[in-house]
């Protein structure tokens, strides 16, 4: 049934102002209130960024995560308490696709090195063979959902050779060859860029480790806009420190925020972004669109879209 009071958890403030989001839902039926964890009892539905175990004991029927990745939520406990969980997949393909292109362009065109030199007022041209064109460079996109397709279509538009990895290796627009996960090593072996776009699950945790870095080209770059634990971070640190691979563009990490003493911060061949690949000025409106649609569905007795639990 449709909620009477929809809570907007104050944690959404990490991504957009809770007030702006609340106001964008003013055309909907439920009372929309900004709440902290201590006062969610007043709500029967909650839109949130953070997860807290106390959500389980409140009177919630439905929780909406403003992130696509819901790996921090305890699916079994939610199921037991009959709390529906929906996520925000389906909306980040364009922006995360653009961020991924930005990271690949930075490495190919050496923009990250120029920016570092600028900070020291240093005019330094790259060696003749440092820069290369993205056109005809290859990218293997691991995971071909919303993010993966957003990356693949943009990479294809810049003339890159695009391959991908998908559990059911059926054809995907803009992807020249699709491999099943069992053939991951073969898929990544020839790629100049390996871009990760899978959710964090039991199957994908640690899917990129020492053996995969060995399988990659030594001039390859890893791009991770998925989730930190998809990559074994110690193996990644080894790979970039030993220059076993050429570098890495990383938006997500084993521990976030990335600890100050992480060796990844100081490396020229690593670009660190603070889990910001999906940040965009209309993020709140994209989330409001999903929430509005689910309020309509609940009112009409239809099943929820983007339902995970
Ligand atoms: P999605 O559900 O649209 O796509 C995920 C795809 O991965 C699906 O097609 C699924 O079949 C595939 N997949 C799952 N397991 C796989 C495996 N073992 N091998 C190959 N493919 C596999 O989700 P999405 O919106 O594309 O987001 C994907 C993930 O990216 C999210 O779960 C989230 O963790 C992360 N994400 C990060 C950011 C960011 O800010 N960096 C933003 C959005 C999403």
Residues 1-39: tens digit of each pLDDT: 899 999 999 999 999 999 999 999 999 999 999 999 999
**Scanning the structure block, which residue is given the tokens 């020291």?**
120
CA distances from 285 to 16, 17, 22, 291 (A): 10, 11, 10, 10
Q: Which residue's CA is the closest to the ligand 1 atom numbered 2?
A: 145
Gap from CA of 133 to ligand 1 centroid (Å): 28
The pLDDT score that the predictor gives to residue 103 is 99
Alpha-carbon dihedral 6, 9, 14, 17, rounded to 10 degrees: 50
pLDDT band at 161 (very low <50, low <70, confident <90, very high): very high
How far apart (Å, rounded) are the C-alpha atoms in residues 51 and 9? 10
For residues 178-197, give the mean pLDDT.
98
Q: Give me the torsion for CA of 122, 127, 133, 137, rounded to 10°.
A: -120
229 CB-contact burial (10 Å; exposed 0-12 / middle 13-18 / buried 19+)? middle
DSSP 280: -
| 62 sits in which H/E element | strand 62-65
Q: Which residue has the tokens 């776009």?
A: 197
Query: CB of 137 within 8 A of CB of 192?
Result: yes
Q: Are 217 and 190 in contact (CB under 8 A)?
A: yes
Structural tokens at position 276: 């910001």
Q: How far apart are CA 305 and CA 86, in angstroms?
A: 7
The pLDDT of residue 1 is: 84
Q: Catalytic one among 112, 192, 275, 286? A: 275
Ligand 1 centroid, distance to 143 Cα (angstroms): 6
Q: What is the pLDDT confidence band of residue 154, given thresholds at 50, 70 and 90? A: very high
Report the C-alpha gap between 277 and 263 in whole angstroms: 21
This prediction has a pTM of 0.97
Query: How many beta carbons lie within 10 A of that of residue 61, not counting itself?
Result: 16
Cβ(141) to ligand 1 under 6 A? no
Is there a contact between 165 and 142 (Cβ–Cβ < 8 Å)?
yes
Please, what is the average pLDDT of the chain? Answer: 97
- Which candidate in 212, 227, 232, 286 is catalytic? 227
Q: Is the CB of 151 under 6 A from ligand 1?
A: no
* 275 is known as an active-site residue: yes
Atom of ligand 1 nearest to the CA of 142: 20
Q: What ipTM was estimated for this complex?
A: 0.99
Residue 138 in tokens: 């290859």
**Alpha carbons 97 and 103: distance in angstroms, whole number:** 10
Closest CA relative to residue 272, chosen from 286, 282, 262, 287: 262
* Residues 120-147 pLDDT 10s: 999 999 999 999 999 999 999 999 999 9
Looking at the predicted structure, is the pLDDT value of residue 284 above 90?
A: yes
Q: Does residue 92 line the site of ligand 1, with CB under 6 A?
A: yes
Pocket test for ligand 1, best of 49, 143, 165 (most atoms within 8 A of CB): 143
Give the length of the chain.
Answer: 309
């Amino acid at each position: 049934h449709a909620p009477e009071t929809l809570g907007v958890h104050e944690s959404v403030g990490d991504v957009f102002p809770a007030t702006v989001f609340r106001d964008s839902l003013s055309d909907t039926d439920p009372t929309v209130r900004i709440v902290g964890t201590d006062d969610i009892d007043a709500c029967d539905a909650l839109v949130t960024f953070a997860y807290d175990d106390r959500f389980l004991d409140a009177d919630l029927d439905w929780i909406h995560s403003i992130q696509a990745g819901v790996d921090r939520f305890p699916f079994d406990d939610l199921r037991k308490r009959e709390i529906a969980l929906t996520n925000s997949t389906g909306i980040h393909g364009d922006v995360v696709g653009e961020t991924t292109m930005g990271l690949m362009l930075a490495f190919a065109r050496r923009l990250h090195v120029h920016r570092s030199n600028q900070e020291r007022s240093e005019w330094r041209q790259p060696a003749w063979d440092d820069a290369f064109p993205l056109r005809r460079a290859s990218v293997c996109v691991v995971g071909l959902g919303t993010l993966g397709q957003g990356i693949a279509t943009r990479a294809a538009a810049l003339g890159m050779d695009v391959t991908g990895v998908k559990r059911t290796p059926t054809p995907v627009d803009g992807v020249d060859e699709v491999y099943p996960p069992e053939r991951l090593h073969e898929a990544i072996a020839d790629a100049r860029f390996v871009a990760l776009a899978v959710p964090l699950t039991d199957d994908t945790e640690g899917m990129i480790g020492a053996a995969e870095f060995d399988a990659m080209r030594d001039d390859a770059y890893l791009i991770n806009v998925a989730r930190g634990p998809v990559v074994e971070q110690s193996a990644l640190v080894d790979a970039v420190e030993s220059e076993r691979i050429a570098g890495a563009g990383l938006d997500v990490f084993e521990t976030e925020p990335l600890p100050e003493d992480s060796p990844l911060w100081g490396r020229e061949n690593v670009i660190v972004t603070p889990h910001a690949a999906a940040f965009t000025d209309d993020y709140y409106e994209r989330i409001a669109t999903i929430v509005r649609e689910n309020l309509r569905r609940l009112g009409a007795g239809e099943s929820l879209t983007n339902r995970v639990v």
